[in-house]
Amino acid sequence: MNLDLEEQQLKTLLACKGNTLNINKYLNEINAFRNKVENNADFNFVLNINRILSDKNRFLIIQLLKNKQDLCSCEFSVALGLTQPTINHHLKKLEDSGLIKKYWKGKFIHYNLNKSIIEKYYKTIKELLE
């Protein structure tokens, strides 16, 4: 960390908390909490899903699957007005995250939501925010 930045943060902290604050104890508590949260598998699971869903097109794909439940990759291209390679890129990210599953239907790949992962996401985010 930049020493000037750290010094400024300590000055701000003292101004906020007052001179009665034991800086070392406070910083140790904060760092322990941050490490506990950052190393929590549930926290990292939610962060990963949030990263995936932060892309507008991937979120729209999820919404389409929520409404239609089963779509061919070519249908996403038409619905979103994107090229097939771009759609495939987004589908791969969603599949790798576990949010969607693919299966073959004849000569075409179809996709649907992985409801167990979505339920786990809802449950985990609720637990983390309570």
pTM reported for the whole predicted model? 0.75
Report helix, strand or coil for 98: coil
Amino acid present at 12: T
| pLDDT score recorded for residue 130 | 84
Which fold would CATH assign to domain 55-125?
A: Arc Repressor Mutant, subunit A (1.10.10)
Hey, CA dihedral for 72, 120, 48, 57, is it positive or negative?
A: positive
Residue 19 confidence (pLDDT): 65
Distance of CA 67 to the CA centre of its chain: 22
Q: For the chain, which residues make up each domain, given as ranges?
A: 3-39, 55-125
Residue 20: what pLDDT? 67
Per-residue pLDDT tens, the chain, 130 aa: give them: 555 767 777 777 777 766 666 777 777 787 888 887 788 888 899 999 999 999 999 999 999 999 988 999 889 999 999 999 999 999 999 999 999 999 999 999 999 999 999 999 999 999 888 8
Residues paired with residue 108 on neighbouring β-strands, in sequence order: 105
